[in-house]
Amino acid sequence: DAGITQSPRHKVTETGTPVTLRCHQTENHRYMYWYRQDPGHGLRLIHYSYGVKDTDKGEVSDGYSVSRSKTEDFLLTLESATSSQTSVYFCAISVGGNTIYFGEGSWLTVV
Amino acid sequence: GEDVEQSLFLSVREGDSSVINCTYTDSSSTYLYWYKQEPGAGLQLLTYIFSNMDMKQDQRLTVLLNKKDKHLSLRIADTQTGDSAIYFCAEGGYQKVTFGTGTKLQVIP
């Protein structure tokens, strides 16, 4: 257990509405990540953070923004959700510089 | 850019050995990883190998790395029904990790 909590775990939202997913860690790790998982694509990196207020884009960052105002929290925001953003979202942390541990996932459906 | 490829599906009989294969492209990767995902759950880190190693064994799991061919494999000895899951290969280390699309392992009783 890497001490990662994601919320909400499941959400259904309408197209065009904003959505925020929260990732909370209990162990003050510096690196945190947001991935999305889709059939046929594996896991793709959306954004990552290397410290408070330090974030960078991943390979599929369009339509997403992130914020990290505290070490323990990393927020992923969909400013205006689209059906293509229906996915499973995983938060992850880097431990010891060589291993990535994942949260349990957030299932998002955009209708 | 980085790319990690895996076959999509593998079916084995209970008690047999399973071998899941993976190829990657980034020769600068520091670590190679294997993750397991059960339905409705997150990814569980099974094992990882440092890029200067050829083999790592951990109970029923054996990881083989052929750095020259950029080929990674995961062997599961005495495969059990509880091993049924999707297995992800990944490369990288520290700041960035790239994942394959996953291999679904089906274990037939």
pLDDT tens-digit readout, A27-80:
889 999 999 999 888 899 999 999 999 999 999 999 999 999 999 999 999 999
Structure token pair of residue B28: 């600068």
Is the distance from CB of A77 to CB of A19 less than 8 angstroms? yes
Rounded mean pLDDT, B69-98? 91
Nearest CA in chain A to B41: A104
Identify from A32, A43, A56, A93 which residue to disrupt to test chain B contact, counting B C-beta atoms within 10 A and taking the largest count. A43
Chain B environment of A104 (Cβ under 8 Å): 41-42
> How far is residue B103 CA from its own chain's centroid?
8
pLDDT digits (tens, 9 = 90+) for B33-68: 999 999 888 899 999 999 888 999 999 999 999 999
DSSP conformation class of A85? G
Closest by CA position to B74, among listed B86, B82, B65, B83:
B65
Structure token pair of residue A28: 């003050």
B19 has pLDDT over 60: yes
B1 has pLDDT over 50: no
Is the distance from CB of B106 to CB of B9 less than 8 angstroms? yes
Band (B75; pLDDT cuts 50, 70, 90): very high
The pLDDT, as a whole number, for residue A26 is 93
The pLDDT, as a whole number, for residue B25 is 87
Burial degree of B94 (CB within 10 A; 0-12, 13-18, 19+): middle
- Bridge pairing between strands B96-99 and B103-108: unpaired
Q: If you write DSSP's letter for every residue of B88-100 in order, what string do you get?
A: EEEEEETTEEEE-
> How far is residue A12 CA from its own chain's centroid?
16
Chain B environment of A98 (Cβ under 8 Å): 30-31, 48, 93-94
